A and B are shown apart, each in its own frame.
Chain A
Amino acid sequence: MNTLILRTATRFLTPLLILFSLFLLWRGHNEPGGGFIGGLVAAGAFALYGLAFGPAEMRRLLRVAPEALLGVGLALAVLSGVAALVVGLPFMTAFWATVGGAKLGTPLVFDVGVYLVVIGFTLLFLLALEDDSTPRPSTR
């Protein structure tokens, strides 16, 4: 889809969408949003970029392999629960702290994990479909 309009619009839209996804992730605890939805929006942003500029460019923008996002996301989610084990509470007990008026807690870390897994899942799938089996230049 090599159109000037799409390319130009995408240049503006992608960063905006990613920002919006982070906003959704952040506000998810109190308003509609959260890791799942934020992750989907972010994945949509990358997908749009991929449509406009091709999978190789999308990989370049992503910088890391989608598999890495899956792994890091899962690790974050697990680690957020392990914190409670260290002090002898049941796995996944939540901790909260107020930092400068904002409530921060392990569920937020968990949500970031969800966010990353959702992005990794979607992009891994899309890239697998978009990639040809012709040799790709190494993008990492």
Chain B
Amino acid sequence: MLYAVLALFGAAFAAPFLYRRLGDRAGAVLALVPAALFVYFAGRAGTVTGGETVRQSWAWVPSFDVSLAFTLDGLSLLFALLITGLGALILLYASGYLAGDDHQGRLYGFLLGFAGAMLGLVLSDNLIALFVFWELTSFTSYLLIGYKHGYEDSRASALQALLVTGAGGLALLAGLLLLGAMGGTFSLTELAPQAEALTAHPLYAAAFVLLALGAITKSAQVPFHFWLPNAMAAPTPVSAFLHSATMVKAGVYLLARLDPILGGTTLWVWTLAPIGAATMLTGAVLALRRTDLKKILAYSTITALGTLVLLLGLSFEESVKAAVVFLLVHALYKAALFMLAGSVDHETGTRDVTKLGGLRDKMPWTSAAAILAGLSMAGLPPLFGFIGKELAYKAKLGFDAADIVLPGIALLANALTATAAAIVVIRTFFGAPTETPKPAHEAPWSMRIGPLVPALTGLMLGIVPALSAPLVDAAAGAILGKPVDVKLTLWYGLGPALYLSIATVALGIGTYLAWDRVRGFLANADGLMARGPEAGYRAALAGMVAFAGWSSRTLQHGRLTGYIATVLLTAVGLVIAALVRHAAAPVLPAWDAPLEAVALAVLVAAAAIAVPLAKTRLAAVAILGASGFGLALLFLLAGAPDLAMTQLLVETLIVLVIVLVMRSLPAFSASAPESAARKARDAGIAVAVGATFTALALVVIAVPLDRTLADALAAASVPEGFGRNVVNVILVDFRALDTLGEITVLAIAALGAAALVRRQRASSETPSDVPDPARLGTEAEGAEAPGETSEPHVSERHVSEPAAS
């Protein structure tokens, strides 16, 4: 299974190159990868539906109990089949939809990368691996929503989706870590038998709330639902794949996965069920306000996600079965409808239902698929959607604690969903043909197969429900933790569920006929909507930027003396706090220093005192150098030749750097008008630092040195490191990873510092918009990035804006 995930990632990387080779045919070729994986998973279906669970594991970070452990049970299988099957269809569809688009190679790459992440997510048995894949789906989704990155709203929507799901991801990470700590393992398989202990654990509520936050942001539940309709800025194939069938279901998947471990408690039911119910209603009502096909579908997706969260929230056998069936139902019809909306847009130039009509004759294939998918969405027999709705009604009727409220809400939401289905299908494909921006014609074959296959599957599974039974049983069984038999049929007999279905259809038709008035009525509430949760998102974002600006302006004031004082005083404060806390008093050691060391120490101290008294800057630098060289000699006396050499060389180069810096500094005068108060303040800081660190040094040398590590390293140096210079062996062998980190920091610091120095010069010497050739030179390559990404308020401090490059 690792190879299945890797195959998708590999295909993702190959996609741009393949596109360059094959042009518009690349999408169809790439579709073979998920198609092959679909066959692979379908081949495993027999084993899994037989009750077995396929497990494979690779060590990843064994020291942290993180492994790439994959589990294929019924639930994973259902998702894996949806991801690979719909993925293949959507890639094929995209190759027609995007024909002629120069960037499609990139889109295929993102789509396949997403599919790989999603597949990894549903197969992962390890919580940490699951989280990594979860974040990858957020990340690839960001790239996909922002595909048309030339448009402002596209970028804003992508960022919004990333921030909302990313914030939820952080909560999820915290929740997963808590869960891991509570259960003592990161393996879902090992957590499952501990369900009772975990739900009784004192940290249960905290873990649950964090995990639920992750799930409800990802699955666009109220009040975080707003990002999903905005994500429709993505190209339609992306919406069909991510924002209907797969990514938004990741939250649902997580809840389903955690249900056997954490589900069924009062907290679980009474948190998730109301959120799900509220989401159902919100989506259903808001869908009727829209006239854009994709937006209507997006809001109806929110309704469906609410239904799934509600059903999983109820967390009893009937509701879990209904959830599994409805999940499959929804993925099939919604992916089809999104693709159809894309086809209509592609062939007519508009997605506004008020401008569309009578496409049935011109687009026979597309309308046939739309009718099937629409009937399934409305929940009419003999489509699979009818079965899904019946089961959901039965589940809600079976939940005793809210006997009227729940079916009532479900009735309203389902009726409005049926209305939305009618709007999408009837308004678009029936009635009098309208004048469209492009003369309407049938979509190419690649765009017909994509929607037709899931639409026909919905019909087939409705007529012969037994076909889906093994898969549904296995998936529900995986959640419930025991073999179950879900009764799938078009006829459950007379009963409340059937009456509710009839009422749903009647109410749906009624609302459809009055849609124009309903929409006008809803439009009155637009002002209220503008103050909805999305306004909160915007306010939070603006607040964050304002805070960042304030903190940057306060902390990054640009005064060197201020920076140094901050650093030094912080260090002094921390050292004093540590000394006080450990009640450590400095002890004067016995006097055994050799005479030459004393002489050097006096030299260093005298130089330090002389620096501030120097009359010229050059003299100050030279005296400072004397202090540094004296220190180097002290190191040498103490038997640390490496340290001494380094100190000497660094000292030399620092003098050089200061000399160079001096050239760009304003003229120095020892009689600069420095107030007595300022001098006193600086002297005070200097004395405080000196005294504190002297005290620290005295405390440290009073403690007997623990030589265990030093001796061990010295002993290992020659036999294991083949070197007699222990310092160097430690640097390049024993602790080479640390050194690698250090030189990496060094390289980054050099690039950053050089960029800053050059930028400062460029801005002070070329105050015009003329591109500065020096900054365009090869040496400036590394300097480009930091200069361009800095925030505007930072550059305000400069004399002028840096030259454009």
Contact = CB atoms under 8 A, between A and B. Distances in A.
**How many interface residues does chain A have, given as a range?**
35 or more
Given A47-B653, A67-B779, A138-B778, A30 B747 contact: no
B727 interface: yes
Contacts of B772: 133
B657 A128 contact: no
A89 to B, nearest CB: 13
Nearest to A70: B747
Given A37-B642, A133-B766, A74 B743 contact: yes
Contacts, number: 163
A34 B728 contact: yes
Interface string A47-78: 10001000000000000011100110110011
A51 B655 CA distance: 13
B642 A124 contact: no
Contact of A40 (B649, B727, B777): B649
B657 A81 contact: no
Most buried by B among A47, A94, A105, A138: A94
B722 A96 contact: yes
Which among B657, B740, B774 has the greatest number of chain A C-beta atoms within 10 A?
B740
A91 B737 contact: yes
B758 A128 contact: yes
Contacts of A77: 739-740, 743
Nearest to B776: A135
Contacts of B722: 29, 96, 103, 105
A114 B743 contact: yes
Interface string A109-140: 01101100110111011111111111110101
Interface string B685-722: 00000000000000000000000000000000000011
Contact of B737 (A34, A67, A92, A132): A92
Contact of B754 (A71, A96, A128): A128
Contacts of A120: 747, 750
Contact of A111 (B653, B732, B749, B751): B732
Interface centre among B641, B723, B774 (most CB of A within 10 A): B723
A101 interface: no
Nearest to A91: B737
B736 interface: yes
Contacts of A70: 747, 750-751
Interface in B626-666: 641-642, 645-646, 649-650, 652-653, 656-657, 660-661, 664
Nearest to B764: A133
B656 A51 contact: yes
A28 B743 contact: no
Given A67-B782, A135-B773, A78 B732 contact: no
B660 A121 contact: no
A112 B443 CA distance: 62
A43 interface: yes
Interface of A: 28-37, 40-41, 43-44, 47, 51, 65-67, 70-71, 73-74, 77-78, 81, 91-92, 94, 96, 103, 105, 107-108, 110-111, 113-114, 117-118, 120-122, 124-136, 138, 140
29 contacts: A29-B722, A31-B725, A35-B731, A37-B642, A40-B646, A40-B650, A70-B747, A73-B747, A74-B747, A77-B739, A77-B743, A81-B737, A94-B721, A94-B733, A96-B722, A105-B722, A114-B743, A117-B743, A121-B749, A124-B751, A125-B657, A125-B750, A125-B753, A125-B757, A129-B664, A130-B660, A131-B758, A133-B761, A136-B777
Interface of B: 641-642, 645-646, 649-650, 652-653, 656-657, 660-661, 664, 721-725, 727-729, 731-733, 736-737, 739-740, 743-744, 746-747, 749-751, 753-754, 757-758, 761-762, 765-766, 772-775, 777-779, 781-782
Q: Which 4 pairs between the two chains have the least Cβ-Cβ distance?
A: A29-B723, A40-B649, A128-B754, A32-B641
Given A35-B732, A40-B653, 5 more contacts: A29-B723, A91-B737, A125-B753, A126-B656, A133-B761
